[in-house]
Every structure is written in structure tokens, then in C-alpha cells.
């Protein structure tokens, strides 16, 4: 039984579990699901009164620190204790397409041809990790939330802005994957 719990859960189990957290958060504490505001709350706690954007009562949202810490601790536990060193199971067509672009090392959770400390200090690493991370953060703030906040919480509440944001996230993801990533990766 325990080894079945430690295996990746199928979408038809994991999806409803994630979906059921929304009414649970709303019923138990009138809280909304999303992670992107946690950085704003952290900055407001660390540098109070210095920047107008961070001048608000962040203490009402202290629970998000526990939520964000749980994500970090859960990821650490999953990678170091539950994954048994297994590689991510990718579609063979995806592997072939990535190999054609020059991504050859699929050991672990992330391809080390892109995501390593040594790659971080290369032009390719700067472009994908630093610039990409900035664009994701900027897009999150510009859209008023992240994919989990809009696609899970916002859609479940039938919010029109969340539908627009989710559609834009998906279009942007497809464009990056199929149009921009192959072109950009070949530059390096």
C-alpha cells in the first residue's frame, strides 16, 4: 500500500485532490489558492514601510508563509526521499525533439544541459533561467496572479479575468514550446 502512495498519482486522482482544496480553503478560512502573492507578503514583512507597494497589513495573510514553506519542504522531501533516484518519465517523442536541439542529459528531474549551476553563468543559462524567470515573475504580477491562482482558483469561481489569463498562459506556453524555444536554443 505504501509503495502505491509513493508512486506518481494519476491525473484522475491528483486533479480532484487539487480541485477539492479550493472549497476546503474557502470553507475553513475564506482563503484563496495561489502562490504568487507570497513574495509580495515576504517583501512587505522584511522591508515594512519602505516601498508603497508593500505598505499593507500582510499579517492577515501569514498563512501563505506556511503554504509556501510546505511547497519547498514537500519538493525537498519528494526529490530526496520519495523519488528513489528515478528519472522523469518523458514521452519518447519529446526526448527525440529535445535531443535534436542538443539536450542530451535526462538524468534526474531537470535536464542538466540547461539547469545546472555552471549553465547559470553561461549566456544560455542567463537567457533561460534569469531572463525567463524575470519574465515569468513580471507576467505573474501583470496578470494579477499565477497559473495556480487563475487556472485553479479563478476558474472555479467563474471569474472572467482568470479565464482570459489562463487562455493567455496556455497560448504563451504553446508558443514558447513550439516556436520560440527551438529557435532560441539553436542560437546557443
Show me where the domains of the chain are located.
1-86, 91-188
Residue 86: its pLDDT value, please? 67
| Mean predicted confidence (pLDDT) in 116-143 | 83
**In the chain, % of residues over pLDDT 90:** 8
Q: What is the pTM (predicted TM-score) of this model? A: 0.72
Q: Per-residue pLDDT for 123 more than 70?
A: yes
pLDDT tens-digit series, residues 3-38: 666 666 778 888 888 888 888 888 888 877 778 878
- Segment 101-108 mean pLDDT: 82
First to last CA, the chain: 47
Average pLDDT over every residue of 80-101: 80
- How far, CA to CA in Å, does 119 sit from each of 3, 122, 127, 146? 35, 5, 10, 26
Query: Among 79-83, 92-96, 120-124, where is mean pLDDT lowest?
Result: 79-83
Question: pLDDT at position 67, please?
Answer: 84
As to burial, measured by CB atoms within 10 angstroms (0-12 exposed, 13-18 middle, 19+ buried), residue 146 is buried
Q: Give the C-alpha separation, 135 to 90, whole Å.
A: 26
3-state secondary structure of 152: helix
SS3 86: coil
Q: What is the pLDDT of residues 40-86, one digit of tens each?
A: 888 888 887 778 888 888 888 888 888 889 989 988 887 777 766 66
Structure confidence at residue 130 (pLDDT)? 84
Contact residues for 149 (Cβ-Cβ < 8 A; gap 6+): 32, 33, 34, 35, 36, 37, 162
Amino acid at each position: 500500500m505504501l509503495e502505491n502512495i509513493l508512486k506518481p498519482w494519476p491525473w484522475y486522482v491528483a486533479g480532484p485532490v487539487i480541485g477539492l482544496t479550493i472549497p476546503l480553503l474557502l470553507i475553513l478560512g475564506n482563503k484563496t489558492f495561489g502562490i504568487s502573492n507570497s513574495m509580495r507578503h515576504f517583501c512587505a514583512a522584511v522591508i515594512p514601510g519602505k516601498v508603497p507597494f508593500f505598505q499593507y497589513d500582510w499579517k492577515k495573510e501569514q498563512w501563505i508563509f506556511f503554504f509556501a514553506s510546505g511547497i519547498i519542504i514537500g519538493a525537498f522531501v519528494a526529490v530526496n526521499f520519495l523519488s528513489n533516484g528515478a528519472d522523469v518519465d518523458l514521452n519518447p517523442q519529446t526526448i527525440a525533439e529535445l535531443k535534436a536541439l542538443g539536450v542530451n542529459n535526462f538524468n534526474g528531474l531537470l535536464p542538466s544541459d540547461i539547469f545546472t549551476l555552471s549553465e547559470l553563468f553561461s549566456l544560455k543559462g542567463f537567457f533561460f533561467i534569469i531572463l525567463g524567470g524575470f519574465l515569468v515573475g513580471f507576467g505573474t504580477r501583470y496578470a494579477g496572479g499565477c497559473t495556480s491562482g487563475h487556472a485553479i482558483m479563478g476558474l472555479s469561481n467563474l471569474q472572467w479575468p482568470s479565464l482570459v489569463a489562463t487562455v493567455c498562459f496556455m497560448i504563451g506556453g504553446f508558443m514558447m514550446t513550439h516556436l520560440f524555444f527551438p529557435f532560441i536554443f539553436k542560437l546557443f
